[in-house]
Every structure is written in C-alpha cells, then in structure tokens.
Chains A and B, each alone.
Chain A
Amino acid sequence: MQNARATGSGRRSGIAALLAALLLPGQPHAENRVNAGTPPERQVYFGDLHVHTTYSNDSFGYNNDRTPDVAYRYAKGEPVATVGGATIQLRTPLDFLAVTDHAEYLGIFSAMTAPEHPLNPTELGRQASSSDVATRYAAFGTFIRALRSGEFPEGFYDPANTLSVWRQIVETADAHYEPGRFTAFAGYEWTSTVQGGNMHRNVIFEGSADLPLPFAASDSRNPEDLWTWLERQRMRGVDAIAIPHNSNVSDGRMFALTDSFGEPIDAAYAARRTWNEPLVEITQQKGTSETHPALSPTDEFADFELFTELLISGGTPGKVSGSYVREAWLNGVRLQAEAGFNPFQFGVIGSSDNHSGTSAVEEGNYTGSRGPASDGTPALRQPTELWGGLPRQSFSAAGLTAVWAEENTRESLFAAMRRRETYGTTGTHLRVRLFAGWELPMDLHERAEREALGYARGVPMGGVLEGPARGRSPTIVVWAARDPEGANLDRIQIIKGWTANGAVHERIHDVALSDPARRRSDGSVTPVGNTVDVPGARHTNTIGSAELAAAWTDPDFDPTQPAFYYVRVIEIPTPRWTTFDAAALGVPPLDLVPATLQERAFTSPVWYLPAGQAGTARQP
C-alpha cells in the first residue's frame, strides 16, 4: 500500500488479465436509436456520472443496500423504496447515468454478509452482517483504519468477488442502456488518497465489451499509473476517460505543478493528462470546486457551497492553492506561455457523488446523499451531528453533467465528453450554449441558423481558438434558458483568465442581465433580488429572465498571450434543500447554512492560443 510503484501491481494485472477474459458482456441492441444529427442539431442531455451503490464499502457502511439496478431505475424516473416504506422519485428524470463504485475491495462488505464467505465468521463479517446501523458503520471504521495502516484482514482482497461484482455492474449498465432514450455507462471510482489529499477519479468506459477489471488505488495511488493503464486499455480497443473530483479537498494536490514524484510537470505529462482526463467534476454533494474567496477575492459569487475540510480528517482544512479549477486553468495558460504546454486544459461537468444509489440533486426533492440514513423523511436530515467531521446540512444537493451531443447513446455522449462540449450544473437543468470565434456576427444569438454559423465560424465550449488574431479580438456569443421546472436566470458571466509577465489574472464580465437597468454607471451590478419565502420554502419567477443571451468581444485582448474564457450562468435565489426540509417540519432553518442559494452552471472554457503554440497543446 505504501508506494504506488510496488511490484504487486504487476502480479495483480496478470490475474486481472486472466479474469478479464471471462468478462465479455455484449453491447445491447440499438433498437431505439434515432439517426445521429449534425453538430448544429446537437441537443443537451443531462446526467450523473458519479453514483455509489452498496458495492462501495463506505456506502455499504452507511447502510445502503441499493444495487446498481436501483440506481439506474431511480435515474430513469422510477420510484424507489426507502427503508421507512415511503418511495422517492426524481421529478425530472435523467438522460444518462454512470454507477461508479469504489474499486478498492469492490463489494467486499456486501459479499461477506453471505454465510459462505470466508470473512463472514470474522469480527468484521459479523459487523457487516449486522442489522444494527451503528455496528454496520463500525465495519466501515475498521476498513478505514485498515486503509490507513495498510494492514487488511486475510482474504480481504478477493479477486473472485471483485470479478463477480464488476461483472454484475457492467451487465446492469448494459441491461439499462436504451440507445436513444437512456444511456447507462459502465464505470468505477479510483479512490486514491495521498497523505489525506483527495486524488479520486471516476473512470468512465465508452462501451462495455472486453472491459478489464478496475485498476484500483490499491494497485497504485499515482494518477500517472492510472493513465498508463488507460493507455494500455485503449491499445486493446477499450476507450475510457478519468474524471477527477473533489479537488477542493485534495490539500492542494489535484492541480499541483509537480507530478506524483515531486518532479516539475513537463510537456509529456501535460499531453497524457489532457488525453486521459479531458474533464473535471466541478461541483457535487461535497462542495463546489470552481474557486475559493481566498483565490478570487473580487468574485462576489465565489463563496458558494464550499466544502473545505479534508475527508475523514476530523475537520482539518486543506490547502486552498492547487485545489480549485479556476486557478488550475490560470496556471495552465501561464505554463502555456512560459513552457509551451498546458497540463490543465480540461472541461467541466457536475455530478452527485451520492452514496445512496440515488442521484437526488433537486433542492425541493432532496433526499440526502447517504441512503437510508438520510432519505426517508426530512426529520432524518435535521440532526446536526457530524458526517465525516461536518454537519450533514453542509452537504449540497448537487450536481449534474450537461452534454451537447447528437443523440443519447454511449458513443455520442462519450465523443462529446472527449471534445469537452460539456458543462456542470449544481443540480439545475438550465441550458447554456456558447460559440467563440473571430468572425461571429454580433447578432448571432438572434439568428435562426445560429448553431450552424457558430460551428462553421467558431468553436463551441471546450474548443480551442487559434491565432493568428490578425488584429481582431475574439467574440463569444452565449445563450442560456432556464430549467423549465426551475428558477429564472439572474445573469450570464464570461470569466476570462490570462497571463502576462509571469503573473495570472482573472476578470468577470457580466454580459447579460435579467434587466439592463441593473448595470450601474461604475460597471457594477445591482443584485437581482430575492423572492424566497423562507418559512414556506417558495420562490416566484417574478424577477430574473427565462432566457438570456449576449454577444461579447474581449475589450482587453492581447494576441501574444494565451487565455481562456468560460461562462457562468447564475439563477435567481431559491430555497436551499435545508430550507425545504425545515418548511416540511414547520421549524426555522438552521443558520449554519444559507437559507437560499443561487444555482448555477459552469461551462467548459474556450482557450485562445497564439499562433505556433496550438500544436503543442493539441491532444496527442
């Protein structure tokens, strides 16, 4: 467990290869498929690429018995039973889902509840099999201590069980995959923690044929080794990407400027990272990783659903620098200018990371992230006792992945993720689309053929705009529409990051406001207001706009310096999930979290690269 370069992984991959030969579920029949459209006909699909079931040992410890089958049914909008006998159901079903259970000792607790399992008669097996919640949670405590000490009970690593659980996960994804209607991805979580810093990645496979056994953090804790494994899989025709998450609790490691061995990042590292990790999860139940007030002191929206204490640390705050997405993008363009490569040229998504088997991300229909411990009734979510060092109220009802794709199939969605035509939301289904280019008409957003023109003359979110600029500045045209069952929009912002003379800079431009009169003469903006009736947990769409759009040309463009632009769309204030629960119980909301919040979307950036630099940043 100590060093990632342990020889154990070689031996293990031998076993894995052997077992993998047994894993051959086929692709489901594509009967519902609709012909793929052209890029302008792409639609936005919403989903969750990060849900845990009973096969994740922590989730099992939270008394969650839900299987991947339940997770997919819930995502499709079917009712799911709670322990208390009630049912829970999404109001707006999802278009796609990936179950991503922790690969480390996958499903071992669930397995050891079977009397014939070798670990069943042990103390750990007794705890795991207990019907008492606290005893079952104690099994998870033992597991965490073992993870730390590296000393596991004999038989804890059980390749036969890993194979059977993994096989079930993949087969369940196949069974729920209805091309054109609902996409189920096979995936898992690589759960590497380095000195308390969260380095976790979700691995999402494009297909389901010939899948290997998961490469786990117990094989190696270094992302470089995960990439090597992913590259090897691609050589045998199995494509997958890794999506880092919770950089906010990585203690500055997720976006560090050194590799796992303390060496400065180089061009080869940047190329491998960009190809293997085209996306990062920017928001989820354990907080939003966009930026932090300490990094972005002038950003009035930076202090949003932060989660800063390192996991299972008893409340130790992590290092801020190196832990947030915007700063990584900034360091990326700085390295681009200084060294000619960008290790952080990634797009963004949101997902839930719920450990309940349920993608519950709707504030007004939130049922917690911990299964039976939280999803029965609002009263279960009231106590302020700590979950991993934090009150449960500080967990967020977030987030979702939005993908612009031709059709709702594995291939189409995966290709969109590869080209970063994605954005993350904090749970809202708001729509946002953007194009950047040198020759985009300033009324593009009002034209009927805006998408066709956008693709023909520009690049969508996630794209790269290359020089030479020939004396022009890039134009970004963006439009957004509210969630049809959600709240109106407050504003659209374009956030620019660039580098000059070795320093990095960021500036936020409010490009579209619900009411132009809100813009003051000094350029600042009057807040949109707040319609929330806190005791009743209601808002009204009497402020804000259902749609917003803008065309914007960068007024401070320097063609010699690389830069990035991304869009943030902010909704009007709505009640936070804690406020809905308080209203249901007829009690005032706890003041340890805000009563209202402004849901939002973050797009993948568009990068500008001066002429001659584009080549080095292109994907290998």
Chain B
Amino acid sequence: MHDVLARLLRDPLTHFLALGGIVFALWAALDTAPADNPAGTVSAAPVSVPDSRDILIDAAEQRLLTAYFTAQWRRLPTEAEFRELLDARIREEVLMREALALGLDRGDRVIRQRLAQKLEMTLREVAALETPTEAELAAFHARHRDRYALPPRISLTHRFVSARQHGDAAAARAAALLHALQSGDDVSADPFHAPGILLAETPDRLARVFGNTFRDAVLAAIQDGQPIGRWTGPVASPWGIHVVRIDDYQPGRQRGFAESRAAVEQDWREDAQAAAEVRRIELMRRRYRVEIAPFDPATERLQ
C-alpha cells in the first residue's frame, strides 16, 4: 500500500492530471461565485474520481514523456523505449485511478500540502495573466507617483583648494579664488581626484563624488536662488574647499502616466499578483465555517 502511494507521489504527472482538472474547475467556480455566497459551489470533499473508464494519452502528454526522457538521457527515446514509457504511463494511470477510488489520498498530510501549494501557484500564475485596463494603470500611477519621479540633474564647474596642501590658509585662499573668478579671472587651483566639470549629475551621484555635505550645500544654494553661471562658495568637502559654479539645473519632476507607462504596467503586475493571491485566498476562506474544537496543547505529553 505504501509503495503505491510512494509511486503516486513521485510522479508529477499524477498531480498534473488529477489536480489540473480540479484546480480549473475550482477557478471557474471561484470566478463566478459571488463573494458573499458562503455556500459556494465547490465541496471541501477530497479529490473526486473520474468516472470514465477511458484513458487517453494525448500528444501533449507524449511530448511531456519525451521531454522527461530527454532531460535525463540527453537523447530521444528509441521506439522500444518509447513504448515502455507509454506502458509505464498507462500502468501508473490505472493504479492512480484505483488508488483514488479506494480513497488512499484522504487524510494524507503530504497530499494535502501539495494540493494547497499547487493551488497557490496557480492563483499566482492566473493573476499574472490578468490584463489591466488603461484606467487601472493610470490610477496605479496616480497612487505611486513617487516611484516614477525623475531626480534633478545638476551640471557644475568647480575649483578646489586642498586642505592637505594649504592647511589653515585654505579658507583665505578659497576666498581669494572666489573673488578672482567672480571678477572674471580664470585662475587655476589645486588638482582634485574627480573632473573639474560635471555634467547632468543626480544629487545622489554628486554625493558619491564630493560627499554628502557638499551635495547638501549645493542643493541648498540652488534652493536659495543661486544664479546659474555665477561663481559661489566656499563649499566644503572632506578634502578641502571648493568654489562652485552651477552651469545648469534641471529640477526633478514627476513623470506623467504616458511617459512611464511601461514601468507602471510592470509594477502593476507585480503588485496585482501579490494582492490577487491574498484576495483569492481570503475569498475562498470566507466560504468555510471554521470550527475549532477545544484543545489545550499544554496538556500534551512530550514523546
């Protein structure tokens, strides 16, 4: 008896055939059953047995058998081998149907878990097939506007006064440098480990190049109305003092629905899939009246 069950469990096709029909029947029922119908149309009884005495091994099934064989042996089955595959498959089908008829699936924890898991997977897959309407997507975009925001872009030129090279004199030197630059003299400064001109960088990238303090100071200057194209400073970084000219500033902006539609649809699907699974399970659960008998686990003796 255990061998039969073990065999049953080993073959995924069993599950495919025995469960596939049930799952889709259930799905259909679920889709048509109103949410407030606690009776539903699906019984909680164990797997039902197909009445038919017909066994059809269709082409899709044979293709699957061939695929399993090829995955294992890296070649196609010979004619004799293929006949054996079919024989084994038929034998298995017969045993499976007889086992179901005997009710061997009932009360089995592994089968129970497997069925639950299978349905979970199916719910997820079916949710993935759902196609959102444009209105749904637009609403999603409106709800998650921040996800589709574009960061600001800053172009700047800077001159550097190195604390290593000038120590305490760095501040005075930076002030003189700023004065000279503001008066139109392009004076050279100390070498810096990043380029003197940065184009269309995000605040995030500015922080990575110059440090968070520098990024914050530049953003604050822009906020305070620092004119484009005019030298300003001093702006401190971990390595010294910078004199900075903002060459261009493109504020961050929200992307409209049309502009971000592809990303919105992808995100919608991810969210929808997760939400649909939770919702469907909740719906199904509502059709059951759950009764829990009184029991105190603390009274159980450890074995």
Chain A residues engaging chain B, CB cutoff 8 angstroms: 11-12, 15, 34, 37, 41, 43-44, 46, 77, 92-93, 95, 114-118, 120-122, 126, 129, 154-155, 157-160, 181, 429, 431, 433, 445-448, 450-451, 479, 481-482, 484-485, 545-549
Do residues B15 and A160 form an inter-chain contact, with CB atoms below 8 A?
no
Cα of A451 to Cα of B193 in the assembled complex, Å: 9
Could you show 9 A-B contacts with beta carbons less than 8 Å apart? A93-B208, A95-B208, A115-B114, A116-B118, A117-B12, A446-B191, A448-B189, A484-B238, A547-B162
Identify 8 new A-B residue pairs, CB closer than 8 A, beyond the known A118-B71, A479-B193: A43-B195, A46-B208, A95-B208, A115-B15, A121-B11, A157-B71, A181-B202, A548-B164
Residue contact A446 to B165, C-beta cutoff 8 Å: yes
Point out residues on B near A: beta carbons under 8 Å: 9-12, 15-16, 67-68, 71-72, 74, 110, 114, 117-118, 121, 162-165, 188-191, 193-195, 199-200, 202, 204-205, 207-214, 237-240
Query: What 10 pairs across the A-B complex have the smallest Cβ distances?
Result: A484-B211, A547-B164, A115-B118, A546-B239, A484-B238, A431-B193, A448-B188, A481-B193, A121-B9, A450-B191
Distance in angstroms between the alpha carbons of A447 and B67 in the assembled complex: 68
For residue B207, which residues in chain A have a CB less than 8 angstroms away from its CB? Answer: 92, 484
Q: Smallest CB–CB gap between B278 and chain A, Å?
A: 16
CA distance A118 to B67 in the complex (A): 11
Output the nearest chain A residue to B209 by Cβ-Cβ distance.
Answer: A43
Give the nearest-CB partner of B189 in chain A.
Answer: A448
Contact yes or no, A546 B195, CB < 8 A: no
Considering residues A92, A545, A546, which has the most beta carbons from chain B within 10 angstroms of its beta carbon?
Answer: A546
Is B208 a contact of A160 with CB atoms below 8 Å?
A: no
For A122, list chain B residues within 8 Å (CB). 10
Q: When the two chains form their complex, are residues B199 and A549 in contact, meaning their CB atoms are under 8 A apart? A: no
Q: A448-B189, A450-B191 are in contact. Are A34 and B200 (CB under 8 A)?
A: yes
Identify A121's interface contact among B12, B213, B239, CB under 8 A. B12
Closest chain A residue, CB of each to CB of B214: A484
List, in ascending order, chain B residues with CB within 8 A of A118's CB: 12, 68, 71
Whether the Cβ atoms of A481 and B208 lie closer than 8 Å is: no
Instruction: Select from chain B the residue with minimum beta-carbon distance to A40.
Output: B195
CB-CB under 8 A from A451, the residues of chain B are 191
In Å, the complex CA distance between A225 and B208 comes to: 40
Nearest chain A CB to B241 CB, angstrom units: 12
**What's the Cα separation between A44 and B193 when bound, in Å?**
9
Are B195 and A448 in contact, CB atoms less than 8 angstroms apart?
no
Q: Chain B residue with minimal CB distance to A444?
A: B191
Contact of A484 among B10, B16, B74, B237 (CB under 8 A): B237
Distance from B134 Cβ to chain A, minimum over Cβ atoms (Å): 23
Q: Are A15 and B239 in contact (CB under 8 A)?
A: no
Which chain A positions have C-beta within 8 A of B205?
Answer: 181
Give min CB distance, B7 to chain A, whole Å.
10
Hey, which chain B residues are within 8 Å of A93, CB to CB? Answer: 204, 208
Q: Is the CB of B190 within 8 A of A446?
A: yes
Knowing A15-B74, A116-B12, A116-B16, say if A484 contacts B210 (CB, 8 Å): yes
In whole angstroms, what is the CA distance A489 to B194 when docked?
18
A549 touches B195 (CB 8 A): no
B121 pairs with A160, CB closer than 8 A: no
> Contact partner of B212 among A34, A37, A181, A484, CB < 8 A?
A484
Which B residues lie within 8 Å of A154 (CB)? 72
Question: What is the minimal beta-carbon distance from A184 to any residue of chain B, in angstroms?
Answer: 16
A445 — which chain B residues lie within 8 A by C-beta? 191
Task: Tell whether, in the assembled complex, residue A155 and residue B191 are in contact, meaning their CB atoms are under 8 Å apart.
Answer: no
> Smallest distance from the beta carbon of B217 to chain A beta carbons, Å?
13
* Structural contact, B239 and A116, CB atoms closer than 8 A: no
Structural contact, A43 and B72, CB atoms closer than 8 A: no
- B202 and A121 contacting across the interface, CB-CB below 8 Å: no
- Identify A114's interface contact among B110, B121, B210, CB under 8 A: B121
* Cα–Cα distance between A34 and B238 once the two chains are bound (Å): 27
- Chain A contacts for B189, CB-based, 8 A: 448
* Cβ-defined contact, A448 with B16, below 8 A: no
Question: Contacts A43-B195, A547-B163, A548-B164 given: A155-B117 contact, CB under 8 Å?
Answer: no
Expressed in whole angstroms, the Cα–Cα distance for A450 and B189 within the complex equals 12
State in angstroms the CA–CA spacing of A93 and B212 once bound together.
12
Determine if A549 and B74 form an interchain contact, defined as CB atoms under 8 angstroms apart.
no
B16 near A547: Cβ-Cβ < 8 Å: no
Most buried by B among A120, A157, A548: A120
Within the complex, the shortest CB–CB distance from B50 to chain A, in Å, comes to 20
Shortest C-beta distance, B280 to chain A (Å), equals 17
Complex: how many Å from CA A120 to CA B114? 10
Specify the chain A residue showing the minimal Cβ separation from B73: A154
Residues of B within 8 A of A431 (CB): 193
